[in-house]
Copies of this chain bind each other. A is one copy, B any other.
Amino acid sequence: MTLQEMGAKAKECARKLAAMGPEKERALLEAAEALREHQEEILAANEEDLRAGEAAGMTASLLDRLRLTPERIEGMALAMEEVAQAADPVGRVLMGETRPNGLRIEKVTVPLGVIGIIYEARPNVTSDACALCVKAGNAVILRGGKEALRSNQAIVRALNTALPEGALQLVEDPSRESARELMGLTDYLDVLIPRGGAGLIRAVKEGSRVPVIETGVGNCHVFVDESAQVDMAAEIIFNAKTSRPSVCNAIETILVHSAIAEKALPAIASRLREKNVQLRGCPRACALLPDAVPATEEDWATEFLDYILAVKIVDSLDEALAHIAKYSGGHSEAIVTESYQNAERFLQSVDSAAVYVNASTRFTDGGEFGLGAEIGISTQKLHARGPMGLEQLTSTKFLLRGSGQVR
């Protein structure tokens, strides 16, 4: 089937999905159960992907992302069930009133339509994305990485035993060409979401004529203000850097006020030494940190996604704000402070999806925010910003009920 044909099929199915209520929940619960029932086939397909990956010299960490186990498949099924049982995001009335001429107006949520997702090696994205898109009444076309093709095919075959035809389709040719073609499928796709590394996201953002929602690139900061509690600062930085360095809400740079640097930096460094974090400092920071290596200009702009942290001493909140405005990816930033005024200024001035006072940036997550499962963290300002869950996979329309009104 060509991508055009897949698009037409998805669009047709999207019209049916838009009219479905509780049937969506039932279909997704059955699909989750089908993952369990088809576990053997999925594991066998995954085994083939793993063998091919090993032969191609894939790194251990990539192989680990690709690997499925009975526990991981159970986790995928449970995640689908959670989304299946969430409140229906479609058909909510966001506002309504009767106009002076008697026309009754309502603004209601509706599905987006057809969603395309381009992603890399993790096969759990296949079931996660399917559950979120279908629960919000959308058809979805998935284009996963070639490393996970057999796993994804097996997962999609299992899920499709329970879903309406056309609701979930997998691009069988995971080439660059198919990604490019998806980016031009404006007749059928309402939105394209890239999930993966910065390179993938940039390529989709630059190349797509379908509207894109940018997700998941970080370069997050913690600013330690002059009034900060040093222990709290050290703990927050330790958590934000080391609890999971490979994720987008981990921090990459700390900015430390010069008035507290002499006291705070050794305490912070000592905590980070427990996890062998490499520090890359500005000249003044290096003078206070014997282990640090000099940071380059590039380091300030880099999302290390590793046990590496850039450290800069600044002389004011304004200098910290300017640094963040220049280098941040607009994801999550935190200030550690005891000053009411500086806390409020930081919250107001930092132009990121999530801005924290005295807490770790690692909380930027749909579940942690109390918003439920998400398809990614949007770092753009249009349509969705921050965790992109069921609500952000819908649009709205206006319904108007009259009795012959003319203007």
Contacts and interface: CB of A to CB of B under 8 A. Distances in A.
Interface string A395-407: 1111111111111
Interface stretch (A158-166, A254-262, A346-354): A346-354
A53 to B, nearest CB: 31
A97 B369 CA distance: 9
Contacts of A382: 112, 190-191, 211, 213, 382-383, 395
B406 A356 contact: no
Contact of A360 (B15, B18, B405): B405
Contacts of A362: 406-407
Given A191-B382, A235-B406, A363 B400 contact: yes
Nearest to A231: B404
Contacts of A360: 405-407
Contacts of A404: 229, 232, 235-236, 358-359
Contacts of A232: 404
A99 interface: yes
A370 B99 contact: yes
| Copies of this chain, tallied across the complex | 2
Interface in A99-142: 99, 103, 105, 107, 110, 112-113
Interface residues of A, number: 67
B358 A397 contact: no
A381 interface: yes
A349 B112 contact: no
A368 interface: yes
B235 A359 contact: no
Contacts of A401: 343, 347, 356-359
A407 B239 contact: yes
A26 interface: no
Interface in A202-232: 205-206, 209, 211-213, 229, 232
A175 interface: no
Contact of A406 (B347, B359, B407): B359
A19 interface: yes
A248 to B, nearest CB: 14
Nearest to A382: B383
A245 interface: no
Q: Which of A18, A232, A364, A397 has the most CB of B within 10 A?
A: A397
Interface in A235-283: 235-236, 238-240, 243
Given A370-B99, A386-B398, A359 B190 contact: no
Interface string A301-343: 0000000000000000000000001000000000000000001
A221 B286 CA distance: 69
A68 interface: no
A367 to B, nearest CB: 10
Given A19-B349, A381-B112, A369 B105 contact: yes
A352 B397 contact: yes
Contacts of A235: 404, 406
Contacts of A399: 347, 354-355
Contact of A354 (B15, B343, B398): B398
Given A368-B407, A385-B396, 9 more contacts: A191-B381, A235-B404, A352-B397, A354-B398, A359-B402, A363-B400, A369-B398, A382-B383, A382-B395
Interface of A: 15, 18-19, 97, 99, 103, 105, 107, 110, 112-113, 190-191, 205-206, 209, 211-213, 229, 232, 235-236, 238-240, 243, 325, 343, 347-349, 351-360, 362-364, 368-370, 380-383, 385-386, 395-407
6 contacts: A15-B351, A99-B369, A113-B381, A363-B400, A382-B382, A385-B396
